[in-house]
Copies of this chain bind each other. A is one copy, B any other.
Amino acid sequence: MAEAASTASTKARIGDSEFDRDTAVTRRAPGVYDIDLSAGWTIINAVNGGYLLAVLGRALADALPHHDPFTISAHYLTASAPGPAVIRTDVVRTGRTLSTGQASLFQYADDGTEVERIRVLASYGDLDALPDDVRTSAEIPAFPPIDQCFGAGDAPEGAPPVPGSSAITDRLDLKLDPATLGWALGAPSGKGEMRAWFGLADGRDADPLSLLLVVDALPPTAFELGLKGWVPTVELTVHVRSRPAPGPLRVSITTRNLAGGFLEEDAEVWDAEGRLVAQSRQLARVRLS
């Protein structure tokens, strides 16, 4: 008991963690929020799209009478950079069980004019008010135990370090299924699959807002398809279906249709109690190589 309590005390808590501090928005006026986008969630030069979605999701959680994103769709317009940004929200409709809102994130051009980075449309509700029924037929994909999976810090012996490492790597506790790690060893599987155990490095448990980050935090499935280079997101929609239980998440991403220079990435997130807590799909561009 003492040991468990001691372990728990070293973990960051929801509301007091790197993720919470870096997604915190400051209300300047009704529907207008300031944020300094953190450099801590970048991959190479790009701010992670899931982190950006969580920032917008937090502003909407403040602007709307409901606080949990049930379904949120983001269209990525121009590339965000770490630094100051402003979010403008618009309450589209408020209802008894669902409210719908819109939000845009802007940064500043050299001449000071606002440039829109992302626009989001979302419907929020109260996850805790949903009935308990679960009649899902979805099954958790087979995952090896977490200690048989690999993170950025423990590449298999003789292998080069996992590429793509960047600031975000330090903030995530990502353990990739070796079956989807071929790309890091120069031998991609050819299958559009990526699977990982997911945690935040400071131990903060998941909540509905952090799930918006989780769905976009794994290496692109394109790597396992043998493609290199950047896979920018055009649009990302996330359904949050249940409040996640404490503990590590399992994330499975699948791409079935790579064609015409675009692909979809379907993500599923399972919590430690084996519940499907989020589903997402994004449309991304690929540069074929």
Contacts and interface: CB of A to CB of B under 8 A. Distances in A.
B123 A234 contact: yes
A264 interface: yes
Number of copies of this chain that the complex holds? 2
Interface of A: 70-71, 73, 75, 77-78, 92-93, 98, 100, 102, 116, 119-123, 127, 130-138, 191-192, 225, 234-235, 237, 239, 241-242, 255-262, 264, 275-276, 279, 281, 283, 288
Nearest to A225: B135
Contacts of A260: 127, 130-134, 241-242
Contacts of A135: 225, 258-259
A78 to B, nearest CB: 7
A73 B237 contact: yes
Contact of A119 (B78, B102, B256, B259): B102
Given A260-B242, A262-B241, A123 B279 contact: no
Given A135-B259, A235-B237, A279-B281, 11 more contacts: A73-B73, A75-B121, A75-B123, A77-B92, A98-B234, A131-B261, A134-B258, A135-B225, A239-B283, A241-B262, A242-B259
